[in-house]
Structure 1
Amino acid sequence: MIRVVLVDDHPVVRDGLAGQIASQDDLTVAGEAGGGHEALALVERLRPDLVVTDLRMRTGDGVELIEALRRRVPAVAVLVLTTYGTEADLLPALEAGATSILLKDASRQELFHAVRMTSRGETVLSPAVAELLVRRYRTDGQADGVSLSPRELEILGLVADGTANREIGRTLHISETTVKTHLVRVYAKLEVSDRAAAVASAYRRGLLRLRS
């Protein structure tokens, strides 16, 4: 059972999300909070698998909550569910350590998929979010030819071997959050939104080679 804490300052939104999540046999809502301070205390007490949080709230900023969770409850994955798809909103969330980002116009099936994948430490990005990251990368003038750094190739090679983010971190002696940050950059460079597509694209481009 995947235990979820919902964080949103609109009770009607929380009720709707709670109802959708409760409709799935493998998902349950462990708790709800209307803002960052309340949410942090709740997560520290309940230790859920996943926090689903908005970014803009009257009672606490979502990015500040993500930063606090990364410091104090680093094992808990964070799925951002937001209406705001601007670079100014999303990039700080990723930099703070958000595992996944989904926009609120996502379908129920997309939400369920994101909850399940994110709870396992996988990164899921809405197509609009992935497109934003690609545009940002292109704006930097680096995307004429895709080039991954040695560390990014190292991580992607381990992903191709089926290694989970946490184990990649242990193998490379870096934090799981750092692994996720590298993968987000890889997704942007390869113009994909998940691990499987990244590996497939890397093989297709010759960045990774099949090993005997």
Structure 2
Amino acid sequence: MPSTPQATPQTAPRSVGERITILLVEDHDMVAEAIRLALDRTDDLVVVGRSLSVADALADAARLRPAVVVLDRRLPDGDGIAAIATLKAAAPGTRVLVLAGEGTPAVAAHVAEAGGSGLILKVGNLGELQDGVRLVAAGEMAFSKGLLSGALDRLTGRTAGLGTTLTPRERETLGLLGEGLGPAEIGQRLGVALNTARNHVQRVLEKLGARSQLEAVAVARREGLLP
């Protein structure tokens, strides 16, 4: 792996020669190595650092000031999308490209709303990732096929989006379902009667089109409503 340049946020170069500098945030070693090799073998891209968590990424981005952060969505200490704003604050001018195992227009819209510059799916080929990094570094948006138009529709309000009608209490209930809690535990956490908690859960299932609590959590994660 190329040596890591030591620099302060004020003086760090945006590029190494003519190459676009990249901070890779990925906690799985085999995936990270494959991505690094694919990016480094090009003439215009170079990985200058790798982070294993959101916390590491914040420190590394502030120190290295990469042109692009390639950010895994699911990390040991949090959701990558939720960390976008903090990353951009730590390294002003750095652009963030999210990597995800799966994605929907709702997730893509969530990335854009959070300040990210794109979403590339891991099921795509590495050439798509290379091109995505180039687009993002140039100030453009980069989304895997089928995600961009749907994301634009949601951002411009042309589609309602699954889960957009959830009330604040129903979103809170959904979050507790995501923690693996049942109605009785949810009622205790929310300070409501068991029947009230069951009603909250039922409304969440209805609005997400789910037949079970497990399916509701799966749908919510697919749609970007849960990390």
TM-score range, shorter chain: 0.5 to 0.7
TM-score, structure 2 as length reference = 0.57
Contact 2:108 2:148 in 1 (8 A): no
SS state of the match for residue 75, structure 2?
coil
- 1:45 and 2:31 matched: no
Match of 2:118 in 1: 100
Match of 2:195 in 1: none
Contact 1:11 1:34 in 2 (8 A): no
In 2, distance between residues paired with 1:109 and 1:89?
A: 22
Pick one of 31, 34, 37 that aligns with 2:52: 34
- 1:89 and 2:127 matched: no
Pick one of 148, 152, 159 that aligns with 1:130: 148
In 2, distance between residues paired with 1:104 and 1:66?
A: 19
What value does the CA root-mean-square deviation take over the aligned residues?
2.0
Query: 1:1-212 alignment to 2 at 5 Å?
Result: 1-87=19-105, 89-133=107-151, 136=154, 137-140=157-160
Contact 2:108 2:118 in 1 (8 A): no
1:7 is aligned with what amino acid? Answer: V
Contact 2:81 2:98 in 1 (8 A): no
Unaligned ranges ≥5, structure 1? 142-212
Give the share of equivalent positions with the same residue, in percent: 36
1:95–1:134 distance in 2 versus 1, CA, 3 Å? closer
Unaligned ranges ≥5, structure 2? 1-18, 162-227
By how many angstroms is 1:125 displaced?
A: 1.4
TM-score, structure 1 as length reference = 0.61
Contact 2:135 2:141 in 1 (8 A): yes
Contact 1:7 1:53 in 2 (8 A): yes
SS state of the match for residue 19, structure 1?
helix
1:106 is aligned with what amino acid? Answer: G
Contact 1:85 1:128 in 2 (8 A): no
Aligned residues: 141
1:67–1:134 distance in 2 versus 1, CA, 3 Å? closer
Contact 1:84 1:103 in 2 (8 A): yes
SS state of the match for residue 85, structure 1?
coil
Q: Which structure has the highest helix share of the two? A: 1
Match of 1:206 in 2: none
In 1, distance between residues paired with 2:62 and 2:44?
A: 22
By how many angstroms is 1:88 displaced?
A: 5.2
In 2, distance between residues paired with 1:130 and 1:87?
A: 7
By how many angstroms is 1:59 displaced?
A: 2.3
By how many angstroms is 1:53 displaced?
A: 0.5
Q: Deviations over 1:84-135 (max 9, x none)?
A: 2135533322211001111112222211111111112111111221243256
Instruction: Point out the structure with max Rg over C-alpha.
Output: 2
Contact 2:108 2:151 in 1 (8 A): no
